[in-house]
Chain A
C-alpha cells in the first residue's frame, strides 16, 4: 500500500492548484484522476495526437498546459485513469487502476471532484442528439466532431457562450441560444456583476464571436422531436418562474439540443467520508460544507472547487490553494504562522470572486417551471426506463423517500447510481408529497462509486491499519 502525506481526488483546476500548494509546502502529494489526463472539465483538451493550430485551441488551453507542466515538474505523483471506487474508515481510499483494486491511506485528503451538467427532463430528452452543454463542448473540443449539423443550446447563464463558440468552431450551425432569463432580470444584480471586469471582457469576446447567432431570451426547451434521433426542438416563452406561456411554442429545425441549465456537484466521495453537506437553495443542490480554510466537518479532509459551490475555475483554484495549505498544515509540513501567511492571497481572491459567483447562482439557478417538463410519459430514470408517471404513482401509493421510490420502481438502481435521475426524483417527490426539497431524504451513492470489474474488486488489496 502506497503512502502519501496528501492525496488529492480530482485533477481539475481545484485539484491541480491544491496539489501544487501542498507540494510546495513540502508534503508528499498524489493526485488521483479517473480520466486519462488531468484538467477536469474546465481544462479538457484534445489528445496530443491531434495537431492543432493555435487558433483552434481553447482560451483555457495555455493555462491548462502550464498547470499540468507545473504539477509534473514538482514531483507530484499523478495517478490518472484511476477511479476512487470507495472510501472507508480513517481515510482509506480504494482505487481501481491498471486492472487492480489497491489501497491508499493518505494522512490528509483533499476532495476536488468537480461537477457535472444538471440533467433536465422533458418529452423526447432521451432521443440521440439531446445532450448536455458540457457534452457538446467535449465532443467538439476533444474530438473535433460536431454535436449535430444544426445545434440548439438551451439553458440559463453564461456557460452557453463558450459552448456555443466551441460548437461553432467545430463547424456546426448554432440555430439558436435559448436563454431562460431576460436581460432586464440581470439589472438588480448589476452591482455584483460589475466588479468583474475580466468576466465581462470574456463575455464580450464570446459575444463578438457569436455575432449572427439568434438568441431567444425568456425561452426554454419544452420538447425534443424526432424518430430515432432529434429532428427538431420545440421552445416556448417563459415567465419569471420559467413556466411556459401557452401559445408561445415554436419549432426549430435542429439535430442536436445542448442543455445548459447549471451544474450538480459530485459530493459522493465527501459524503462517504462523513463530511456534512449544506443545501444551496439557489443552486438547488447539496454541497460540501467547509470553513474559510476549506476544512470539512471531518478532521483531515478538505474540499475545494465546484463541490463547495458552483463558482467557476478562478474560485476553484483559489479554494484549491487554500485546501492545499490546510492539508499541508494538517500534516505538519508547515506551521500555523506560515499557513496564515500563505492563505491571505487566495483567501482574498476567493472572497473578491464569490460575490460574482453568488450573483450568477441567484440569477441563473433552476426555477420551478424547469420541472414542468416531467410529464407522466417522460422518462426520468434513463438507466432503468422509469417514467415520471411511474414515480408519481409510487408516491401517491405512499412512498415517502428516494430509497422507497428506488425500491418500488428501480429508479436509481442502474449503473449511473442515480446521478442523472436523483435530483429529478427528489423534485417529483417534493411536489407530490409536499415535502420541501431540502427535507427530501437523500439516497446515498454506495461503493463502488462507479462500476469496478468483478475480479479486481474481489482481489482488492487489504489495507494496513492506520498509523
Chain B
C-alpha cells in the first residue's frame, strides 16, 4: 500500500499550491485529481488576483481578510519571480466600476477601509476613470482603482505550480477519482481510490466541486452553495485596455475575456443566451469599442461559496490529520491558502490567523439549509 506524508485531493489552484508548498518543506506528496488538472473552477475562472475587489454588499471588508488577500498577491509576485513566465502574471491594476451616485458612499467606506490596511486603492470619478481607461464610456459614475492588482491565466498557473511541485519530488496523478476518506476513529489515515488505498499522514480536501461529497465520506458536512459563472472571449483585438475591469480583461494575445454571471444554485457548466445578453450587453455599454469585436467562445465554471462568502480554511473539530479549504476567491487566495495549510500540517499553527475561516462558524448550518447566498453579493454590472 502506498504511503505518503500528505495526500492532496483536487488538482486545481488550491491543490497544486498545497502540493508545491508541501514539497518545498520536504514532505512526500501525492496529489490525486479525478479528471485533468484545472478541469474545474480553476480552468474556467476569470483570473483576477485582487486586493481591491470583493463581491460583498457590505462596504467594509474585514481587515484580516484584506491582509490575507495582500499576502496572497505578494506570494504570487514572489512565485512569478521564482518560477518564471508561465503564470501569465500581469499587474496592470484593477478598476471596479459603479454606476449609481448612491453607491458612492459605500465605495468611499470601502476605500477608507482598504487604505487603513495599507492597500493602495483610490476612488475615481468618471473623468478620472476615463483618464486611466479611455475606452470606458459615460455609463460609469466612478470606480475604485487599485494600481497594484494583478491577473493571471488560472490553468497556466495550475500547470506551472504542478510542474514546480513535481520537480521537488511531488507525485501528481490525474484520472484518479478519490472515493472515500479513510478514518480510524477520529484520525484520518488515507484515501480510497479505484486502484487501491493510499495511506497518508495527512489528507487535504481541496477538491472544489467534489469537496462536499468527499467530505461526507469522512462524516464532515461542508456548508457550501454553488454559483455558476459564464464567461466569454472575443477574437484578437488591437490593444485598448490598460487595466482590467471587474470582470473584463484583455489578454497578452489581444483577446478580451469577459465575465461573469452569478447564477445561484446552478451547478452545470453550460452557457446560455441569457448569460450572453447579460454579460455582453453590460460590457458593450461600458466599453463601446467592443462592438468591433466578435465573440469566439463561451464557457462556464461553478464557484464554491461558503454561506457568508468568506473562505473555509483549516482543520475540522474532532478530526485529526485532516485539513480542507473551500472558497470562491480561489484564484486570489490559492498561494496563501496552500502555504497556510502546509503550516498547519507541519507546525500545527499558521503565521496568519485563520480562525475567522473555521468551518465551525457555521455550527448550525448544514449542507441543506444555506439560504440564498445571492443576498450577500452585489451583481457585477
Whether the complex brings A and B within 8 Å at their CB atoms is answered yes
A: residues with CB less than 8 A from B are 86, 88, 92, 94, 103, 384, 397-401, 403-404, 407-408, 410, 413-415, 417, 441, 446-448, 451-455, 457-460, 462-463
Query: Closest chain B residue to A85 by CB distance?
Result: B295
Alpha-carbon distance between A452 and B35 when the two chains are bound, in angstroms: 31
Please give, as numbers and ranges, the residues of chain A lying within 8 Å of B293 by CB-CB distance. 453-454
Q: Is the CB of B253 within 8 A of A410?
A: yes
* Chain A residues with CB under 8 A of B162: 397-398
Contact of B159 among A88, A384, A407, A460 (CB under 8 A): A407
Contact B38 A404 (CB under 8 A): yes
Report the separation of the CA atoms of residues A266 and B166 in the bound assembly, to the nearest whole angstrom.
39
Cβ–Cβ contact A462 & B273, under 8 A: yes
Interchain residue pairs with CB less than 8 A apart (23): A92-B273, A397-B163, A398-B166, A399-B36, A401-B36, A401-B39, A404-B37, A407-B159, A408-B155, A408-B159, A415-B235, A441-B36, A446-B299, A451-B294, A453-B291, A453-B295, A454-B280, A454-B290, A457-B295, A458-B284, A460-B273, A460-B277, A462-B273
User: Which listed residue (B172, B175, B253, B281) contacts A459, Cβ 8 A?
Assistant: B281
What mask results when residues 264 to 279 of chain B are scored 1 for a CB within 8 Å of chain A, else 0? Answer: 0000001111101100
From known contacts A103-B273, A400-B174, A403-B39, infer whether A454 and B291 are also in contact, taking CB-CB under 8 Å.
yes
The interface residues of chain A lying within 8 Å CB-to-CB of B281 are 458-459
> Which of A94, A399, A448 has its CB near the most chain B CB atoms (within 10 A)?
A448
| B350 at interface by CB-CB < 8 Å | no
Give min CB distance, A157 to chain B, whole Å.
33
User: What A residues does B292 contact at CB under 8 A?
Assistant: 454
Residues of B within 8 A of A400 (CB): 36, 174-175
B145-174 residues with Cβ-Cβ distance < 8 A to A are 155-156, 158-159, 162-163, 166, 172, 174
Q: Which residues of B contact A397 (CB under 8 A)?
A: 159, 162-163, 166
In the complex, B43 has a CB within 8 A of chain A: yes
B298 at the interface (CB under 8 A from A): yes
Q: How far is the CA of A448 from the CA of B295 in the complex (A)?
A: 7
Which residues does B use to contact A, with CB under 8 Å?
35-39, 43, 155-156, 158-159, 162-163, 166, 172, 174-175, 234-235, 253, 270-274, 276-277, 280-281, 283-284, 290-299
Set of chain B residues within 8 Å of A103, measured between Cβ atoms: 273
* A398-B174, A459-B277 known; A407+B38 contact, CB < 8 A: yes
> Chain B residues with Cβ under 8 A from A453's Cβ?
291, 293-295
Chain B residues in 8 Å Cβ range of A407: 38, 43, 155-156, 158-159
Q: Determine whether the beta carbon of A403 is less than 8 Å from that of B36.
A: yes
Residues of B within 8 A of A92 (CB): 273
Q: Write out the residue numbers on chain A whose beta carbons fall within 8 Å of the beta carbon of B235.
A: 415, 451
Instruction: Name the distance in Å between A407's Cβ and chain B's nearest Cβ.
Output: 3
Query: Are A447 and B298 in contact, with the CB atoms below 8 A?
Result: yes
- 7 closest A-B pairs by CB: A407-B155, A458-B280, A451-B294, A401-B36, A404-B36, A454-B293, A458-B281
Residues of A within 8 A of B36 (CB): 399-401, 403-404, 441
A452 touches B295 (CB 8 A): yes
Report A-chain residues with C-beta under 8 Å of the C-beta of B38.
404, 407
B277 & A403 in contact (Cβ 8 Å cutoff): no
**Closest Cβ–Cβ distance, residue B94 to chain A (whole Å):** 22
Question: Bound complex: CA of A92 vs CA of B163, how far in Å?
Answer: 43
Which of the residues B166, B272, B284 comes within 8 Å of A454, measured between beta carbons?
A: B284
Contact B294 A452 (CB under 8 A): yes
Rounded to whole Å, the gap between the CB of A135 and the closest CB of chain B is 22
- CA gap between A338 and B235 in the complex, in Å: 49
Q: Are A462 and B277 in contact (CB under 8 A)?
A: yes
Is the pair B296, A458 in contact by a Cβ cutoff of 8 Å? no
Taking CB as reference atom, which chain B residue is nearest A402?
B36
Chain A nearest Cβ from B134, distance in angstroms: 19
B294 CB contacts on chain A under 8 angstroms = 451-454
Residue of A403, A453, A454 ringed by the most chain B CB atoms within 10 A: A454
How far is it, in angstroms, between the C-alpha of A194 and the C-alpha of B272 when the chains are bound?
A: 51
Closest A residue to B284 using CB positions: A458
> Which chain B residues border A398 with CB–CB below 8 Å?
37, 159, 162-163, 166, 172, 174
Nearest residue in B to A397 (C-beta to C-beta)?
B163
Residues of A with C-beta under 8 A to B274: 462
Alpha-carbon separation in the docked complex, A410 to B236 (Å): 13
Minimum distance in angstroms from B315 CB to a CB of chain A: 30
- Residue contact B284 to A455, C-beta cutoff 8 Å: yes
Q: Which of A384, A403, A415, A446 has a CB less than 8 Å from the CB of B43? A: A403
A89: min CB distance to chain B, Å = 8
Contacts of B284 in A (CB 8 A): 454-455, 458
**Cα of A400 to Cα of B294 in the assembled complex, Å:** 31
Contact A458 B174 (CB under 8 A): no
> How many angstroms from the CA of A120 to the CA of B5 in the assembled complex?
47
Looking at B36, B172, B235, B273, the one whose CB has the most chain A CB atoms below 10 A away is B273
* A448→B292 CA distance, assembly (Å): 16
Given A88, A404, A410, which contacts B39 in the complex, CB threshold below 8 Å? A404
Closest Cβ of chain A to B31, distance in Å, is: 10
For B276, what are the chain A residues with a Cβ–Cβ distance below 8 Å?
Answer: 457-458, 460
How distant is the Cα of A453 from the Cα of B156 in the complex, in angstroms? 28
Q: Which B residues are CB-close (under 8 A) to A463?
A: 273
A454 to B291, CA, bound (A): 5
Residues in A with CB closer than 8 Å to B163 are: 397-398
Instruction: Name the A residues within 8 Å of B291 (CB-CB).
Output: 453-455
Cβ-closest chain A residue relative to B288: A455
In the complex, chain A residues whose CB is within 8 Å of the CB of B280: 454, 457-458
Shortest beta-carbon distance, A456 to chain B, in Å? Answer: 9
Closest to B166 in A: A398
Which chain A positions have C-beta within 8 A of B298? 446-448
- Min Cβ gap B182→A in Å is 26
Contacts of A462 in B (CB 8 A): 273-274, 277
A448 to nearest B CB, angstroms?
A: 6
- How long is the Cα–Cα vector from A270 to B296 in the complex, in angstroms? 19
CB proximity of A243 to chain B, nearest CB, Å = 30
With A404-B38, A407-B43, A407-B159 known as contacts, the answer to whether A454 contacts B295 (CB < 8 A) is: yes
A164 → chain B, closest Cβ, in Å?
Answer: 36
Q: Which B residues lie within 8 Å of A458 (CB)?
A: 276-277, 280-281, 283-284
17 new A-B contacts, CB < 8 A, other than A398-B166, A401-B36, are A88-B272, A397-B166, A399-B37, A399-B159, A400-B36, A400-B175, A403-B43, A404-B37, A404-B39, A446-B299, A448-B297, A451-B235, A454-B292, A455-B291, A457-B295, A458-B276, A462-B273
Contact across chains for A415 and B271 when beta carbons are under 8 A apart? no
The smallest beta-carbon distance between B14 and chain A, in angstroms, is 17
Q: Cβ of B39 and Cβ of A451 under 8 Å apart?
A: no
Q: How far is the CB of A383 from chain B (nearest CB, A)?
A: 10
| Contact indicator A401/B271 (Cβ below 8 Å) | no
